[in-house]
Amino acid sequence: MISCILGGIFIVFGGLMLFAMLSWYGSTLMMGGQWHMYMFTYPRWLTAVVATISVLAGGLVMSASYKMYKEPRNKLWGLLIVIGSLVSLLSAGGFGLGGVLGLIGGVMGLSRRVQET
């Protein structure tokens, strides 16, 4: 469970850093601003879309991991964590680490067996 929450935190933080880079550097996902003549730059709207997708995927991972903790019998939460982590890996959210932590936690949640009490 803790790996899912940490993964979600990393994913949201990575998306927020993309928003910060957008406001600071301008129109790129990497370096940009005054150095745009030396490297390929991305449009501002694309950077904003990628950052938004990353923040939403991180929110999905964190909320689904909380619900997985509260309702361990429901496998839907593990599936949502895996989907959110895969989306975050495609949108470069969480510096890669967040997506991997979310995938590990989601797969563990899917494979976990809850004993009847």
- Is 74 inside any structural domain? yes
User: pTM of this prediction?
Assistant: 0.84
- Is 116 inside any structural domain? no
- Is 107 inside any structural domain? yes
Q: How far apart are CA 42 and CA 96, in angstroms?
A: 20
**What's the domain range around 42?**
2-111
Q: What is the mean pLDDT of the chain?
A: 85
Residue 117 has a pLDDT of 64
How far apart are the two ends of the chain, measured CA to CA in Å?
A: 21
> Is the pLDDT at 40 greater than 80, yes or no?
no
- Is 41 inside any structural domain? yes
- State the maximum Cα–Cα separation within the chain, in Å, rounded to a whole number: 65
Residue 39 pLDDT grade (very low, low, confident, very high; cuts 50, 70, 90): low
- Is 117 inside any structural domain? no
Residue 46 has a pLDDT of 85
User: How far, in whole angstroms, is CA 7 from its chain's centroid?
Assistant: 7
Average pLDDT over residues 2-13: 95
Per the structure, the count of domains in the chain is 1
